[in-house]
Amino acid sequence: MKKIIGIVLVMVTVSACGVKLLMPSEQDVTRVSDKFPGYTLSELSQGKTLYEENCKKCHGLKAPEKLSEEKWRKIVPPMAKKAKISAGEEELILKYLITMSGAQR
C-alpha cells in the first residue's frame, strides 16, 4: 500500500511540474504592434488563459518560445479543430503563441 501511495505522489509531482509560461506584458504587445495592429494586453492575456485551459487537456504545454511563428501557424489550426474551439479562441491562442515565441526568458 505504501508503495502505491509513493507512486501516486511521484506521478502527481511530475504532472504538476509543467512548462512555466512567461507572463504577457505591455512590452510584448508593443513588440508585435506592426504585426497585430490594435492588439491589446487583455487579448494577449486571454490567449494565454485559453492556451492553458484548452491545450493541456490533451497534452503537455510547450513553451511558446520553443517554436517559431511558422511552426505555430501550422500546429494551431488542426489542434483547434480537434479541441473544438471557436475561430475567435483559435485566433487569440495563435496570437499569444506568436507574440510570446519572440519573448526573451
Q: How many CA atoms lie within 13 A of 4 on its CB side?
A: 1
CB burial of residue 79 (10 Å; 0-12, 13-18, 19+): middle
| pLDDT digit string, tens, across residues 20-59 | 898 999 999 999 999 999 999 999 999 999 999 999 999 9
Query: For the whole model, what pTM was predicted?
Result: 0.80
Distance CA 6, CA 20 (A): 25
